[in-house]
């Protein structure tokens, strides 16, 4: 992506349209959509007039609707948005009934238009995941973690996300429509925090960000040397590790119903490139 200092490729729908975002040298975060023919369109929420700006696109559904989050300059808070790519229009979203100045991270929209993400309300001590299905919102935490976030939701109502434990190790989770939660950890993932190559923050464990209609789950993890690898977990519970060719570190994003995975990787010079992995 020309002008990108960092690049995050987040999602792909069944038509092959990709959603993501990038940050430029000025610190502005701008969302992007890449059509299946390679044409890239960038967009930013008009309610964010701050500098640097912040519009972060997440999951894209089959209808071209993107769920994301942006900074509302007038309201002085982060809010969710749904972007309709066919018309270039935005709809803001906040979880109903939450206090003023609650930050809402909207990360996912399924093909039925149901949503999920996370909220961070005053006094800003607890981040909780939420799911909205047919207008009904469920707010929850996973394993009593101080930070829980939902990152994908399929049409069956199964949600996935991740949380850090008290030691700072990330764990993935999957929640069925009836509320049953399963923790997901990739075998061989690090269990103590450390610094990854090309990184400055401490990382460890497993991050889950995607699920498709058949129950395939995707994300990335750090091994015991803190190298990052993408993965797909099959419905039977087996894991497939994915490294982009020539990559130094590979981050996995979401996958579509054809089990096509998107993400981004870093080369040995820590430069960012997006990828599409086809089975």
Q: What is the pLDDT of residues 229-240, one digit of tens each?
A: 999 999 999 999
Joined together, the tokens standing for residue 273 give 């490139």
Instruction: Give pTM, 2 decimals.
Output: 0.95
pLDDT > 70 fraction of the chain, expressed in percent and rounded: 100
Rounded CA-CA distance 106/236 in Å is 29
Give the mean pLDDT of 239-256.
Answer: 96
Give the mean pLDDT of 169-183.
Answer: 97
Give the mean pLDDT of 101-118.
Answer: 97
Task: Look at residues 43, 48, 52, 2 and name the one whose alpha carbon lies nearest to residue 21.
Answer: 43
Rounded CA-CA distance 195/198 in Å is 9
φ, ψ at 262 (rounded to 5°): -120, 160
Residues 6+ apart with CB under 8 A from 39: none
Rounded CA-CA distance 45/54 in Å is 8
pLDDT for the residue numbered 151: 98
Residue 20 confidence (pLDDT) above 80:
yes
**105 SS3 class:** strand
Report whether CATH 3.40.50.980 matches the domain 4-277: no
Rounded CA-CA distance 164/127 in Å is 11
pLDDT for the residue numbered 3: 77
Rounded CA-CA distance 168/146 in Å is 11
pLDDT for the residue numbered 279: 87
Q: What is the residue whose two structure tokens read 């995707």?
A: 218
pLDDT for the residue numbered 2: 74
The H or E element containing residue 130 is strand 128-133
Residue 1 confidence (pLDDT) above 80:
no
Asked if the bond preceding 52 is cis, omega within 30° of 0, the reply is yes
Sheet bearing 103-109, strands edge to edge: 103-109, 115-120, 128-133, 136-140
Rounded CA-CA distance 31/8 in Å is 9
């Amino acid at each position: 992506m020309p002008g990108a200092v960092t690049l995050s490729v987040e999602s792909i729908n069944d038509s092959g349209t990709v959603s993501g975002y990038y940050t430029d040298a000025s610190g502005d975060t701008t969302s992007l959509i890449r059509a299946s023919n390679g044409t890239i369109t960038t967009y930013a929420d008009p309610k964010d007039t701050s500098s640097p700006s912040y519009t972060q696109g997440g999951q894209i559904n089959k209808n071209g609707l993107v769920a994301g989050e942006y900074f509302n300059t007038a309201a002085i808070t982060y809010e969710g948005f749904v972007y309709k790519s066919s018309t270039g229009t935005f709809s803001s979203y906040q979880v109903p009934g939450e206090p003023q100045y609650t930050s809402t991270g909207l990360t996912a929209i399924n093909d039925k238009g149901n949503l999920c993400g996370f909220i961070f309300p005053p006094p800003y001590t607890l981040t909780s995941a939420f799911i909205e299905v047919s207008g009904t919102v469920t707010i929850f935490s996973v394993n009593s973690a101080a930070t829980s976030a939902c990152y994908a939701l399929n049409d069956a109502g199964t949600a996935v996300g991740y949380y850090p434990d008290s030691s700072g190790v990330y764990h993935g989770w999957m929640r069925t429509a009836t509320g049953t939660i399963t923790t997901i950890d990739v075998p061989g993932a690090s269990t103590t925090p450390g610094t990854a190559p090309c990184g400055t923050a401490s990382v460890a464990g497993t991050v889950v960000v995607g699920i498709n209609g058949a129950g395939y789950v995707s994300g990335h993890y750090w091994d015991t040397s803190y190298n990052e690898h993408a993965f797909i977990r099959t419905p039977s519970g087996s894991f497939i590790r994915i490294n982009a060719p020539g990559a130094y570190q590979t981050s996995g994003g979401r996958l579509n119903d054809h089990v096509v995975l998107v993400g981004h990787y870093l080369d040995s010079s820590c430069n960012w490139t997006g990828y599409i992995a086809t089975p």
